Amino acid sequence: MEPHMQIARKIRSIETVKIELLQQVTEVYRGVHSGNQREVQQALGALIGVAYVLGVQLGFSPAEIERNIDVNVLGTIIPDEADTAGAEKLKRHFHNKR
């Protein structure tokens, strides 16, 4: 296969995953709005999975993505007092995965 065709396929594949990522965000909102915990859990799982797929397609390893979750996401979240335990649980989860 010609190089320009490979590039076109890769771009198309990335665009497809980006669309799926947005669809999963929509599903999370839909589940939250309906109050259906199972829908929310499934949508969040799919959203995280699709985000990993996109990261890998862009050349990142799952370990690199997880390090960035820990540093960039958990490091910047300033939970209110009611959610401190939840934030700590997430930090422990990602620290234990290392």
Q: What is the pLDDT of residue 75?
A: 65
Helix, strand or coil, per DSSP, at residue 54: helix
pLDDT at 24 exceeding the cut of 80: yes
Residues 6-16 have pLDDT tens digits of 999 999 999 99
Q: What is the mean pLDDT of the chain?
A: 86
**What are the residue boundaries of the structural domains of the chain, listed by start?**
1-59, 61-98
DSSP 3-state percent helix, strand, coil across the chain (nearest 5): 85, 0, 15
Element (H, E) at 80: none
pLDDT at 22 exceeding the cut of 90: yes
pTM: 0.80
Q: Which of 55-59, 79-83, 85-89 has the lowest mean pLDDT?
A: 79-83
